[in-house]
Structure 1
Amino acid sequence: MTFASPHDTWFPDAAFDASYGHTLKTLRGIAPIAPPEGFAKRWMRWRDEARQVDAAPVVLSVDSAAGRRVSVIEYSGADGTRLRAWVVEPVSGAARIGVVHSHGYGGREAIDLARVPDHAAAVFPVARGLPTLNAGVGAPEPIAEHVLAGIDDPDRYVLGLCARDLWLAADALLALTGDTPLYYVGESFGGGIGSLALPWDDRYIGATLIVPSFGQYDERLAVHCLGSGEVVRAHVAAHPEAREVLRWFDASSSMTLTQVPVRVEAALWDPYVPPQGQFAVANAVGELDLEVLPAGHADYPGSEDVRAAAIRHGRAHLERVLGAS
């Protein structure tokens, strides 16, 4: 006798099985891709180049939310492109930690303080090219064009530039709110580019990656999905040489070199970011706090409670690593 999985009941109209036939056991067995020769050297060169860029943050406007000062700022990205972000300052007193809080591939319309403690300062960077603050700036806005921008050249590929921009967003935050240790929060697209940026920035003491993208391209390129990975898969099928460029931007490879405690919230079912890639990122982490989500990029019975618990656990992880630093 066979039994339907909860996903069959929750998503009866799904076009395909977004578990891809995997179980938690098989997902925990997916190995990250070993970094190619020269991986660390190339990323350290990019990090050194970013240190030569003056973020030069400028406050454009000031407002308030939940009793906190909220500013829209402009700063220089890794190649000097002027980008915009939100900066949040603590309710009172000096910040104890700075949070760099990225977003999914849809961009960001407003700040979200759910994962930012009252005692933290935070920057909410918006990736180059993406809405709302940086639509069309430094990269094309449509996702199908954005994810392929510069893919013929590792120095210009947009995912690398977005990751490198995170170092400058952190520079801008610390310049405006004071020198503190850093903690990273990123979801989906933001989880992937954060994974790429983390190993090379020793200011970070920890991170939370939520359903992270761009992990384990051997797995990503082998399956259909509804997210940006499908655009990349089609491109690589037509241009096989692009696979070699992607080796420099595999979040699972990067996470094998990350030294700080990392919390990963990875989903068993996800039509946008295949779980194989998410778990490859998690499996690469040395000091891992893993939370297994029933599904990602989807609503399902009890999903609000699952998200609320994940947020609580993520904030507890931040406090633990801050206390241990």
Structure 2
Amino acid sequence: MSTHPLPTGTGELSSPPHDFPFDPTHGYDRRGLLAVTAPQGPDDFADFWRERHARARRIDTAPRIEGPWVTVDGMRVADVTYTSADGVRIGGWLTVPADGRVTQGCVATHGYGGREAPDLRQPPPETATIWPCLRGLGTRSLLPGVPSKPAAHVLHGIGARESYLIGGCVADVWCAATALQALVPETAGRLTYLGTSFGGGIGALALPWDDRFRAAGLTVPTFGNHPLRVTLPCTGSGESVRTRLAEDPSVLDVLAYFDAATAARHLTIPVHVGAALFDPSVPPPGQFAVHNALAGPRELVVLRAGHFDHPGERAETAALEEAQRRFLSGPDPVLPHPTA
């Protein structure tokens, strides 16, 4: 494991001033966070996900470019749609280098706020990227009967593992990869993943079962260590899960199949993680549980704060994004000599 320090000028253990009614560090310092473990998970955890992945790979995603291409900052951008599990049509964007040179592909997902446009700065150079709005979210994948607000979206179908909406969002990632490779065949040799917050947790759930992906970047990933997560107050989607669990304890049995830290135990490709010491939306112990459980090569950038405006945030984000671009560049990520 390689661990990168915070950018100069940020204090590793000093929390930003806040007025939350709870401590967004939940009493953990860096040493404690690096010791958080992952649940083992149900005995059929891997079988459950492998079967879902096999079903998703059989889907005819029928990707389509919708409307004209436009060129922005050296990238060609177009609207795209494709079919995912349950016949759901997913909308998003496709970006390719304007000079036509493509050496890898990327599936880039979003936080629980959805996405209104692709972020052209995120992927490495020479990357063709598909930017799906996962089902029920963003501006492109709203669905009748599916709530778009995070507090309700995260509970939709939670009564059973087969109906839980999060499973459909994971399938959207697998089908996005299929659609990207159909639209840009040059991406078939090397596929990467980028996901932040909601997208970070979804990525951890999706990646272990799909051997098309070669490397990933996960930033402040959610859904890590549900048994611990549901004991920690937050301002994110986890708070509605905590409330629902108080009413129906059986929800934890379903959540056991959707634990990003448990899934990380099966994730062997190189993964770059940005995890925060202070985060009111996604409790830091859950973020670090995902990182700590990774079974393959990993690199960690420790952030002073996540989901919270704070001094030095711009420099911190820029340093993280540059580290991720470096990590995901080239035929195989090259990890620096471990420093921690």
- CA gap of 1:216–1:77, structure 2 versus 1, over 3 A, is same
What displacement does 1:139 show?
2.6
TM-score by length of 1: 0.94
What displacement does 1:75 show?
0.6
How many Å separate the matches in 1 of 2:251 and 2:15?
38
Letter in 2 for 1:250: D
Per-residue CA deviation, residues 69-120 of structure 1 (Å, 9 max, x unaligned), is: 1111111012211110101112323411101100000000111012212300
1:54 has 2:60 as partner: yes
1:22 has 2:28 as partner: yes
Range with bigger deviation, 269-278 or 124-133: 124-133
Check the 8 A contact 1:163/1:193 in 2, yes or no. Answer: yes
SS at 1:60's partner residue? strand
Cα RMSD for the two superposed structures: 1.6
How many Å separate the matches in 1 of 2:179 and 2:12?
45
- 2:218 aligned to which of 194, 209, 215: 209
Per-residue CA deviation, residues 117-161 of structure 1 (Å, 9 max, x unaligned), is: 230000001011112111235732122221111111211211111
- Corresponding residue number in structure 1 for 2:205: 196
Letter in 1 for 2:218: L
- Corresponding residue number in structure 2 for 1:176: 183
How many Å separate the matches in 1 of 2:318 and 2:101?
27
How many Å separate the matches in 1 of 2:115 and 2:142?
10
1:255 has 2:261 as partner: no
- 1:78 aligned to which of 52, 77, 85: 85
How many Å separate the matches in 2 of 1:8 and 1:291?
17
SS at 1:79's partner residue? helix
Letter in 1 for 2:222: S
- CA gap of 1:137–1:128, structure 2 versus 1, over 3 A, is farther
Letter in 1 for 2:28: H
- 2:310 aligned to which of 290, 295, 300: 300
Check the 8 A contact 1:174/1:180 in 2, yes or no. Answer: no
- Corresponding residue number in structure 1 for 2:229: 220
How many Å separate the matches in 2 of 1:207 and 1:100?
9
How many Å separate the matches in 2 of 1:309 and 1:291?
9
How many Å separate the matches in 2 of 1:309 and 1:173?
28
- 2:322 aligned to which of 285, 292, 312: 312
SS at 1:224's partner residue? coil
How many Å separate the matches in 2 of 1:321 and 1:261?
12
How many Å separate the matches in 2 of 1:9 and 1:267?
11
Per-residue CA deviation, residues 201-235 of structure 1 (Å, 9 max, x unaligned), is: 10111100000000000111111100000000110
Alignment of 1:30-41 (within 5 A): 30-41=36-47
How many Å separate the matches in 2 of 1:138 and 1:288?
39
Range with bigger deviation, 171-180 or 137-146: 137-146
Q: Which runs of 5+ in 1 are unaligned?
A: none
What displacement does 1:35 show?
2.5
What displacement does 1:7 show?
7.7
How many Å separate the matches in 1 of 2:142 and 2:126?
31
What displacement does 1:6 show?
7.9
- 2:250 aligned to which of 241, 266, 270: 241
How many Å separate the matches in 2 of 1:157 and 1:166?
16
- Corresponding residue number in structure 1 for 2:240: 231
Check the 8 A contact 2:190/2:331 in 1, yes or no. Answer: no
TM-score by length of 2: 0.90
- Corresponding residue number in structure 2 for 1:45: 51
- Corresponding residue number in structure 1 for 2:338: none
How many Å separate the matches in 2 of 1:77 and 1:45?
15
How many Å separate the matches in 2 of 1:98 and 1:260?
16
SS at 2:85's partner residue? coil
Q: Which runs of 5+ in 2 are unaligned?
A: 1-10, 335-340
How many Å separate the matches in 2 of 1:52 and 1:262?
27
Alignment of 1:111-126 (within 5 A): 111-126=118-133
Higher relative contact order (CA 8 A, sep 6+): 2
How many Å separate the matches in 1 of 2:235 and 2:113?
13
What displacement does 1:67 show?
2.3
SS at 2:174's partner residue? helix
- CA gap of 1:74–1:137, structure 2 versus 1, over 3 A, is farther
How many Å separate the matches in 2 of 1:233 and 1:182?
35
Q: Percent identity?
A: 42
- 1:162 aligned to which of 155, 163, 169: 169
